């Protein structure tokens, strides 16, 4: 796929690995971050603390996937509404899923993303993060916070959709290089559900995750 | 050789034109109501699989060998060199898009790297804070109001859309091979360009394999979303730690 890959690359897709990692990394020391603050302040704090955490953690740089996954689970998830992200990706089929199926979908989707991005985290070296001024009024309950990661080559666009729910800001979608993740998976999920049903999708995700776990070996 | 290629090329051009025209109705981009994003899916899938086989059996092995054999500083210089030519093309496109300030900045990048960076072998501009911002003619068409249109996978050239196919001849011509007249030199430059790009993409493509359920669908949706989205030229604020934290002060310092 010669030029197609070049094409994606030319537009900086290569760096997606990194960017993707920072999504999760962004919230590693999240306990310290204040979810009551303005959404851009939350992202600012998470971004800064992440870079510090990754740059100063030899185990993460060395590729300790399990360590990163544990950190993400305990620290990131409090700031992410993963149910909303999953339901958005699953689309109209979400309502047809039983609560158990919804739970399984959420878990497997999360594992899929976290495991992959954890690998990208090991690539963080001398990048800096830049934040765009927030354009929202004080009473907005849904905002987009835009950032970019700067290193070699094109900056990596990394935007967050946040919602305010009972006074707390939570991330519910992430945009890497112009691609919103929930949108990115909608067709893929619909295709799988169309062919094999919701259980089919759960099985496919589970298989992929197990394969990745086996491949990593380190975990 | 050329005489024999002529009719083939003409037939190909006609075919392209026919495809374009049939797809013109769909030039509203993804999300437009009642529009099929991928009306030629079954054909596209065949081409995608063909490209994928070439990638797996030719490009990946060559790019991997390139990465393992050629020393990193040499690869970096080659990458910078192609990137510099790309900056010139971005400059032209930013101006075409009416983004004069950003265009000027990319023009500065090109000038600085060409003059002080030995023809683009060094990327000094990034060091002095001139951020790279890549634009191409397909994106320029988009800025002018053209939607991406239907998805097309070209043999060898890979994922594209109706809009980007119209821009493809120019976007591919914007290469250092432009200055060479001989066919063999052009081929050599394009080959190196391709190998360099594929080598850079090795890690990311592995990652994509890991998170894609159906590779074809995944690449298609990523392509259309990415090519259909536009950023603005607002200033960013570079984040620096507010108060010096002992361990974070020196990023290289371990605990």
pLDDT at A49: 79
Residue B252 DSSP SS3: coil
Confidence of residue B106 (pLDDT cuts 50, 70, 90): very high
**In A, residues 62-101, which contact B (CB 8 Å cutoff)?**
none
How many angstroms away from the CA of B212 is the closest CA of chain A?
A: 8
Lowest mean pLDDT among A44-58, B60-74, B94-108, B120-134: A44-58
Q: Per-residue pLDDT tens for B176-222?
A: 888 888 889 999 999 999 999 999 999 888 888 888 999 999 999 99
Cβ separation of A148 and B236 shorter than 8 Å? yes
How many angstroms away from the CA of B215 is the closest CA of chain A?
A: 9
Q: Is B148 on the interface with A (CB under 8 A)?
A: no
- SS3 string, chain A, reads CHHHHHHHHHCCHHHHHHHHHHHHHCCCCHHHCCCCCCHHHHHHHHHHHHHHHHHHCHHHHCCCHHHHHHHHHHHHHHHECHHHHHHHHHHHHHHHCCHHHHHHHHHHHHHHHHHHHHHHHCCCCCCEEEECCCCCCCCCCEEEEEEEEECCCCCEEEEEEEEEECCEEEEEEEEECCEEHHHHHHHHHHHHHHHHHHHHHHHHHHHHHHHHHHHHCCC
Q: Per-residue pLDDT tens for A121-166?
A: 667 777 888 998 888 888 889 999 999 888 877 888 889 999 998 8
pLDDT at A96: 95
Cβ separation of B197 and A11 shorter than 8 Å? no
Confidence of residue B13 (pLDDT cuts 50, 70, 90): low
Percent of chain A, pLDDT > 70? 78
Size of interface A-B (CB pairs under 8 A): 181
Q: Using the predicted structure, report yes or no on whether residue B3 has a pLDDT greater than 50.
A: no
Q: Give φ, ψ of B251 to 5 degrees.
A: -60, -30
Lowest mean pLDDT among B33-37, B80-84, B237-241: B33-37
Of residues B243 and B149, the one with the higher pLDDT is B149
Q: Using the predicted structure, report yes or no on whether residue A11 has a pLDDT greater than 50.
A: no
Q: Give φ, ψ of A107 to 5 degrees.
A: -65, -45
Confidence of residue A84 (pLDDT cuts 50, 70, 90): very high
User: How many Å separate Cα B24 from the centre of its chain?
Assistant: 23
How many angstroms away from the CA of B237 is the closest CA of chain A?
A: 5
Read off the pTM. Answer: 0.80
Q: What is the dihedral of CA B229, B63, B83, B148, to 10 degrees?
A: -20
**In B, residues 187-226, which contact A (CB 8 Å cutoff)?**
193-194, 197-198, 200-201, 203-205, 207, 210-214, 217-223, 225-226
Confidence of residue A23 (pLDDT cuts 50, 70, 90): low
Cβ separation of A2 and B51 shorter than 8 Å? yes
pLDDT at B224: 95
pLDDT at A1: 45
Tell me if A198 sits within 8 A of A93, measured CB to CB.
yes
Lowest mean pLDDT among A32-41, A166-175, A182-191, B99-108: A32-41
Cβ separation of B253 and A56 shorter than 8 Å? yes
Q: Using the predicted structure, report yes or no on whether residue B26 has a pLDDT greater than 50.
A: no
Cβ separation of A178 and B229 shorter than 8 Å? yes
Computed over every residue of chain B, the mean pLDDT equals 84
Of residues A77 and A184, the one with the higher pLDDT is A184
Lowest mean pLDDT among B4-8, B36-40, B58-62, B107-111: B4-8
CA-CA distances (angstroms) from residue B168 to A28, A139, B100?
Answer: 42, 45, 24
pLDDT at B123: 95
The backbone region for B251, taken as left when phi is positive above 0, alpha when psi lies in -120 to 50, beta otherwise, is alpha
Q: Is B22 on the interface with A (CB under 8 A)?
A: no
CA-CA distances (angstroms) from residue B182 to A44, A107, B167, B188, B193?
Answer: 53, 57, 24, 10, 17
């Amino acid at each position: 796929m010669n030029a197609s890959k070049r094409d994606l690359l030319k537009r900086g897709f290569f760096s997606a690995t990194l960017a993707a990692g920072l999504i999760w990394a962004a919230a590693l020391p999240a306990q310290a971050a204040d979810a009551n603050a303005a959404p851009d302040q939350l992202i600012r704090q998470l971004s800064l603390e992440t870079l510090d955490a990754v740059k100063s953690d030899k185990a993460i740089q060395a590729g300790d996937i399990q360590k990163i996954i544990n950190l993400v689970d305990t620290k990131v998830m409090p700031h992410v509404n993963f149910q909303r992200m999953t339901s958005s990706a699953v689309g109209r089929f979400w309502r047809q899923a039983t609560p158990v199926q919804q739970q399984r979908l959420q878990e497997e989707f999360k594992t899929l993303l976290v495991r992959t991005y954890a690998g990208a985290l090991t690539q963080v070296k001398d990048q800096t993060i830049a934040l765009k001024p927030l354009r929202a009024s004080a009473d907005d309950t849904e905002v987009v916070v835009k950032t970019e990661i700067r290193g070699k080559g094109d900056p990596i666009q990394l935007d967050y959709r946040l919602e305010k729910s009972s006074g707390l800001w939570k991330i519910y979608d992430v945009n890497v290089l112009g691609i919103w993740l929930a949108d990115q998976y909608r067709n893929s999920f619909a295709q799988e559900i169309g062919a094999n049903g919701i259980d089919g999708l759960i099985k496919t995700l589970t298989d992929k995750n197990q394969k990745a776990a086996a491949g990593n070996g380190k975990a | 050789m050329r005489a024999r290629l002529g009719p083939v090329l003409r037939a190909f051009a006609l075919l392209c034109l026919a495809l374009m025209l049939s797809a013109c109705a769909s030039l509203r981009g993804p999300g437009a109501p009642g529009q099929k994003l991928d009306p030629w899916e079954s054909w596209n899938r065949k081409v995608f699989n063909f490209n994928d086989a070439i990638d797996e059996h030719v490009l990946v092995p060559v790019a991997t060998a390139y990465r393992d054999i050629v020393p990193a500083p040499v690869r970096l210089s080659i990458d910078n060199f192609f990137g510099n030519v790309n900056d010139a093309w971005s400059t032209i496109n930013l101006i075409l898009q009416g983004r004069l300030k950003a265009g000027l900045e990319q023009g500065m990048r090109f000038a600085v790297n060409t003059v002080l960076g030995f023809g683009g072998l060094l990327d000094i501009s990034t060091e002095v804070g001139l951020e790279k911002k890549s634009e191409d003619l397909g994106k320029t068409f988009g800025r002018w109001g053209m939607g991406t249109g239907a998805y097309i996978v070209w043999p060898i050239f890979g994922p594209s859309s109706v809009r980007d196919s119209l821009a493809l001849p120019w976007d591919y011509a914007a290469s250092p091979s432009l200055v060479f007249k001989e066919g063999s030199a052009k081929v050599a430059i394009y080959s190196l360009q391709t190998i360099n790009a594929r080598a850079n993409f090795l890690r990311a493509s592995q990652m994509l394999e890991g998170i894609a359920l159906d590779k074809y669908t995944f690449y298609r949706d990523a392509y259309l979303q990415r090519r259909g989205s536009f950023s603005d030229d607002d200033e960013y604020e570079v984040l620096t730690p507010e108060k010096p934290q002992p361990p974070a002060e020196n990023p290289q310092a371990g605990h």
